[in-house]
Amino acid sequence: MNTAAIDPQVIARDYIALWNEPDAARRLELLSSGWSADARYVDPVMQACGPAQISALVGAVHQRYPGFRFSLAGRVDAHGEHLRFSWTLGPRGAEDLIQGTDYAEVRAGRLQAVTGFLDKVPVGA
């Protein structure tokens, strides 16, 4: 697949929408439409494989940080089937507390694998 076949900005936007979705049923719909059935997610704190585990992982973030929102930070870079983008997480209407950068592999227009890195995490977060 070449970069012309995917829109990196749309994929990253939809990825952030998944992380901001509090409803488990809606998260599963988003995973079904934008991720492969055997998709994987891993970061220094968590890992998951498949829609049910990824949705549960996102749900756990909502429980730990109620009212927090993810936002894209900066531009989305693409190289072939690979994307890199940064994000922030913080309470609505306040300064973002956590920052990260994710690397994603896209196959057939769907997220296949995401590796997340935490760039800024306050003590105790």
Query: CA quadruple 12, 14, 17, 23: dihedral positive or negative?
Result: negative
In the predicted structure, residue 50 carries a pLDDT above the cut 80: yes
Q: Is residue 10 part of a domain?
A: yes
Maximal C-alpha separation, the chain:
42
For the stretch 52-81, pLDDT in tens is: 999 999 999 999 999 999 999 999 999 999
Mean pLDDT (the chain) is: 93
CATH number for the domain harbouring residue 97: 3.10.450.50
Whether 33 is in a domain gets the answer yes
Give the pLDDT score at 5: 61
Q: Please report whether residue 125 resides in a domain.
A: no
* In contact, 120 and 17? CB cutoff 8 Å: no
Q: Give the domain range for residue 31.
A: 3-120
Q: What kind and span of H or E run contains 14?
A: helix 8-20
pTM score, two decimals?
A: 0.92
Q: What are phi and psi of 57, to 5 degrees?
A: -60, -45
The arithmetic mean of pLDDT across residues 101-107, rounded, is 97
Inform me whether the pLDDT recorded for 124 exceeds 80.
Answer: no
What is the domain count for the chain? 1
20 pLDDT more than 50: yes
- Residue 8 within any structural domain of the chain: yes
